[in-house]
Amino acid sequence: MVSVIIPLGLALVMFGVGLTLTYADFRLIAAYPAAVVIALACQMLIMPIVAFGIIKALGLEPEFAVGLMLLAAAPGGPIANLYSYLAGGDVALSITLTAVNSILSIVIFPLIVGLAVRYFLGKTQIIPLQTAKTFATMAIVIVPVLLGTSLRSHRIALASSLQPWVKGLSVAFLAGITVQVLYTQADELRSSVTVIAAAALFSALSLAVGFLASRSAHLQQNQAIAISFEVGVHNTGLAVSLALSPLMYNSPRMSVPPTLCGLFSLVLACAMAILVRRRR
C-alpha cells in the first residue's frame, strides 16, 4: 500500500509545483549553465568522496560502508523538488536537475557502487542499469508538473485558487512521511552509534555542500536552495531496494545506512526549509 500511496502523493505534490510555473521558467535554465554543472559535480563527484572520507574516518564495517556508498551514488529523489518548492527555491532548476540526474545515474550509479563493492567487500558484482526506476522517477516528476504548468497557462485563475490547497496537502504529506520513517526505523536508530553518526554527518554535509558550492560560485540564493536539496535529499528508496533485493545483495545490514540517512535528510531538510522561509 505504501509503495502505491507515496508515488501518488508525490505526483499530486508535483502537480501543485507545476501550478506555480510557466514554460518560460524552464527556458531560463539555459541562461544559467553553471548551476547545472555545479549541482551535478556535487552530486556525482563530491558526495561519493565525502561518503568515502566518513567511512574511513569512522571505520565503518564493510557492509555498512557499501550501504553508505549506495546512497551517495544515488540520484536526488522527487521529494527534493518538494522541499525546494516549500523553501522558495528555483523549482524549475530543481526539476531539471532531478531529470538530468536520473538519466546520468544509469551509468554513474553502477560505476560508483561497483567500485565500492570491490573495495570494501573484495568482490566484483555488476549493478544492473536502473532504467525502469529512472523512467518511473521522471514520470512522477515531469508529467504532473507539465500538467500543472499547462493548467496555469490556460486557466490561471483556477491554478491560483488551487495553489494554497495543494501546498497545504504538500506539508501534510511531508509530515506523514517523516512520522512513517520515525516509526518504522526505530530499531535501526538503536543499532549502532557509529552508523548513526555517519548517517547524520553525511546527511548534514550533503545539504551544506550543495548550498556552499552554489554560493561560492555566486549563484542566486533560490538556485542555491534548489541545488542544496537536490544534492542533500538522495533517492533512499533506490539504495535500500538494492541492498535488500534477493537478486542483488540481500543484506539488511547494508540497508541500515541509507535508511538512517533517509530519516536524517527528511528532518534536516524540513528544518532547513522552515528556516529559509522564516529568514526570507
CATH number of domain containing 211 = 1.20.1530.20
Asked if pLDDT for residue 159 goes beyond 80, the answer is no
N residues, the chain: 280
Q: Name which residue leads in pLDDT, 81 or 102.
A: 81
- Give me the residue label for grid cell 529512472: 134
Q: How far is CA 145 from CA 95, 148, 228, 260, in A?
A: 9, 5, 21, 29
Confidence of residue 158 (pLDDT cuts 50, 70, 90): confident
Q: Could you tell me if residue 203 is inside a domain?
A: yes
Judged against a pLDDT cut of 50, whether residue 129 lies above it is answered with no
- Is 188 a residue whose pLDDT tops 70? no
Q: Considering the domain boundaries, does residue 66 fall inside one?
A: yes
Across 225-249, average pLDDT: 77
Higher pLDDT, 216 or 248: 216
Terminal-residue alpha carbon distance, the chain: 38
pLDDT at 130 over 60: no
The rounded distance, in Å, linking the Cα atoms of 28 and 20 is 15
Residue 56 has pLDDT above 90, yes or no: yes
pLDDT score of 102 more than 80: no
Question: Which pLDDT band holds residue 204 (cuts at 50, 70, 90)?
Answer: very high
- In the chain, the number of structural domains is 1
Question: Residue 11 domain-assigned?
Answer: yes
In a domain, 74, yes or no: yes
**Domain assignment present for 280:** no
Are the beta carbons of 180 and 52 closer than 8 angstroms? no
* In the predicted structure, residue 6 carries a pLDDT above the cut 70: no
Domain coverage including residue 224 = 2-275
Share of the chain above pLDDT 70, in %: 71
